[in-house]
Amino acid sequence: MELLEMTSFITNLSGWAGIPLMIFGLLLCLAGRFFIRFIVAIAVFIPVFLTSNLLTGQYGGLEGDDAMVAGIVLGLIAAGFAASLYSRIHIFLAGVFGLILMSVVLGFVNSFYNIEGMIYLLVLDLGFIIGAKLFRHMEDELHYTAPSAVGGLLISAGYSLWTVAAKELKDFEAFGTVNSIILFVAMMGGAFFQMWMWGEGGYYERWKEGGGGLPSVRR
């Protein structure tokens, strides 16, 4: 079973497959800070799984299902390890943010130069490492920005499927013009909304202190 064949069921679901993706993406944009462990686990699993699948298939002598199983096992181990390190989880969030930013850059470059799959994945992994190094000091902001970035990616993927721009995930161009706009708006809008709603001194905190009702917007 080839890696991309795992998404073939989406062909039968057509545009309807995009609806749950958009709903879940919206949830992450509005309240992603409550799903931090899950987001980190998924964000670590995907690049490790894809990279391991290709490496074990091309260089490890494994084929088909064996390479896929090896990728899944290594991905689950890495995801579980990342999600368990809650005290350092902001470093993984920084990596997620860096990975998505690198994806945007690669999407732009790929529109001019065709990038091979292996190089694409390795550069994405590099983006994760660079992001973890550069953005790890932004601990508070990352709890809002990283989930919103992942949510924006899911919304753009869902939109692409819903409009039948991509019949399968393998045809999905995550960083085409329209999808890049959706990703940027969702990421920035979601981050600002979550800081306003859930941040320190935010709407929800003032609402609790006020004992219910609509709190004053002034601090």
Tens place of pLDDT for every residue, the chain, 219 residues? 343 444 455 455 556 778 888 999 999 999 988 888 888 888 788 778 888 887 887 776 777 777 788 888 999 999 888 878 767 778 888 888 888 888 778 877 877 777 777 787 788 889 989 998 898 888 778 888 888 988 988 898 888 777 765 555 555 565 566 777 888 888 889 989 998 888 877 888 888 877 554 444 444
3-class secondary-structure state, position 23: helix
Phi-psi group of 183: left, alpha or beta (phi > 0 → left; psi -120 to 50 → alpha; rest → beta): alpha
Query: The tokens of 28 are what?
Result: 């992450």
User: Phi/psi at 212 (nearest 5 deg)?
Assistant: 110, 175
- Which among 139, 54, 184 is positioned nearest to 174, based on CA atoms? 184
5 falls within a domain: no
Whether 96 is in a domain gets the answer: yes
Q: Is residue 53 part of a domain?
A: yes
Residue 11, in any domain of the structure: no
Domain count, the chain: 1
**144 domain-assigned:** yes
Domain span at residue 84 reads 18-204
Residues in the chain: 219
Confirm whether 143 is domain-assigned: yes
115: amino acid identity, one letter:
I
- Considering the domain boundaries, does residue 217 fall inside one? no
Task: Say if 114 falls within a structural domain.
Answer: yes
